Structure 1
Amino acid sequence: MTEQKNPRDGFRLITPLRVRYAECDLQGIVFNAHYLAFADVGMTEYMRALVAADRPRDEKDMLGSFTRHFGGDNWVRHADVDYRASAKADDLLDIAVRITRFGRTSYTLLVHILRGEELLNVIKLTYVWFDPATDQVTPVSAKFIEAVSDFEIIRPERAVVSA
């Protein structure tokens, strides 16, 4: 039998989340759609930590300042969820989040949802970068890429993009 790698390795941002009763079905297990909402909680905390690490000290509104600070915002383009085990009502979960790859106009977010050391879900989200003034997809902000690269334990892969 091969040894399983620690599913927390390589993640700088890990945030706790307690499963609420309303997120469960009649069997007391988390309804599958909520795992994407859990990933979104992790993404919010990731952005909060990223802006906090990179923002001017006098700026108070970290989440509201994301767009101003990095010159754009992001939309989910694709979600891939690998369900491995079920979370249950009142479980204390950890949501581990990291950005693994940058393309020209997109990036990939990897989320591990854990209960203790047990990996319950692996979620991969592809986000596209856009200009909020025009709602048009644009290249990912160089400032954002630099901030993420400085923040991450494992530097994100960079896609080779030809002009």
Structure 2
Amino acid sequence: MTDTVSSNASVHSPAEYLAFTLGKEEYGIDIQKVSEIRNYEAPTRIASAPDYVKGVINLRGTIVPIVDMRIRFALGTPEYGPFTVVIILNIGGRTVGMVVDAVSDVTTLTPDQIKATPDIGSSLNTEHIVGLGTIDERMLILVDIDRLMSSEEMGLVERLAA
């Protein structure tokens, strides 16, 4: 089964997640989507962009849209400090940056450490949450970064990059 590539590979074998914080919560994304982590620098603002799109940066000749995840997830006003970083992602052949409060570590989770997303009702959109990763007393909210960025945001990314 290890030589077969499937979209459910992470369900059957351990997977590595980059852990980052937004406010008091810890999140995790598939480490294979991450190309680099950079210090936060104020991006160039784009007129008429949604508030969660902070702007764009020039990354070695590539124009990269920057999405502030605290604004995207409605977690209050972001504060940019010494630990604020931009995680550069490769999503479907496109490069996107996401601003997070801090990056903590890379964590390996086995299938039995990943719990299903609880049914919270229709008041909360959980379609971009894969599950909850548990390590002792620590809990990571696992985000399907492909799904999150390829929804409305990816259409926006394509317009900004054009």
- Whether TM exceeds 0.5 here: the answer is no
* TM-score (normalised: structure 2): 0.27
Q: Normalised by the size of structure 1, how large is the TM-score?
A: 0.27
The structure carrying a bigger strand percent of its residues is: 2
